[in-house]
Amino acid sequence: MTDDFTSLRKTLEARYSCRAFRPDPVPDETLQQIVMAAGRAPSWCNAQPWKATITRGGETARFRDALLAALERDKPAPDLPWPESYPGAHGARRLECGLQLYEAVGIARNDRAARTEQSLQNYHFFGAPHIAIIHSEAALGSYGAMDTGGFITAFTLAATALGLGSIAQASVAAYAPMIRTHFDLPESRLILCAISFGWPDPDPPANTFRTTRADLSEIYDPR
């Protein structure tokens, strides 16, 4: 095992979806470092279809307010259709991570109102001082989206390595038309995901649990 692998594993294992942040802003130079590091992700033909539109200062609150208004007004209209179903083990894992969150924050299984309240936190960015809107070139289709998935992972790992918390959010990308209008992005950009990020607040219950992972035998198919 090399030192490089040990340190990569450490970062992979330290990353988690952070759902409570301190309000302090991240310096511009650090934002640039994260985006430059994430930009090392591979892409088909090296097309690098991704771009991160990142709010700072009052722009985060301005976007949050516009998003909350869209939540009241618009129907979800994600650029990438949401999954139709989560068959078998996928559904079980989905259920487990949801229950872990609700248990951590003390929400009973059948308390729909409290669940809705918790999921609304997505649109307050869990108190993060920054949100990155991650978009890709529409003409590159599914492959552009796949490449940009790698960029998203690399972004969250770079943030972790710098001591920051982050969370990818499909829930925010559901308001893609409003996001394009708000940030003056052309129709040719697919809104894939948002990433709320900043300095993590370790104490709130939402940050105290960690999700599980499948055993090697479930994800490794040696032939």
Ligand X SMILES: Cc1cc2nc3c(=O)[nH]c(=O)nc-3n(C[C@H](O)[C@H](O)[C@H](O)COP(=O)(O)O)c2cc1C
Positions in 11-40 near ligand X (CB under 6 A): 16-17
Per CB under 6 A, does 168 bind ligand X?
A: yes
CB 20 within 8 A of CB 200: yes
**Least distance to ligand X from the beta carbon of 180, Å?**
18
Positions in 203-222 near ligand X (CB under 6 A): 211
Q: Which stretch binds ligand X (CB under 6 A): 1-9, 59-67, 104-112, 169-177?
A: 169-177
Candidate residues 146, 161, 170, 185; the one interacting with ligand X per rule CB under 6 A: 170
Instruction: List beta partners, residue 133.
Output: 53, 194
Q: From CA 33, how far away is CA 155, in angstroms rounded? A: 10
**Least distance to ligand X from the beta carbon of 138, Å?**
18
CB 128 within 8 A of CB 196: yes
Candidate residues 122, 136, 148, 207; the one interacting with ligand X per rule CB under 6 A: 122
Per CB under 6 A, does 167 bind ligand X?
A: yes
Instruction: List beta partners, residue 194.
Output: 133, 169
Q: Which amino acid is at 146?
A: M
**Least distance to ligand X from the beta carbon of 29, Å?**
26
Positions in 184-203 near ligand X (CB under 6 A): 193
Which residues, including other chains, have CB under 8 Å from residue 87's CB and lie 6 or more apart? none
Q: From CA 118, how far away is CA 126, in angstroms rounded? A: 10
Between residues 36 and 97, which has the closer beta carbon with respect to ligand X? 97
Q: From CA 50, how far away is CA 190, in angstroms rounded? A: 9
Per CB under 6 A, does 171 bind ligand X?
A: yes
Total binding residues toward ligand X, as defined by CB under 6 A: 11
Q: Which stretch binds ligand X (CB under 6 A): 27-35, 64-72, 131-139, 164-172?
A: 164-172
**What kind and span of H or E run contains 54?**
strand 50-54
Number of H helices, E strands in the chain: 9, 4
Candidate residues 55, 60, 148, 169; the one interacting with ligand X per rule CB under 6 A: 169
Position with the least CB separation from ligand X: 171
What are the C-alpha distances in Å from 194 to residues 104, 171, 179? 24, 8, 10
Contacting residues toward ligand X, per CB under 6 A: 16-17, 97, 122, 167-171, 193, 211
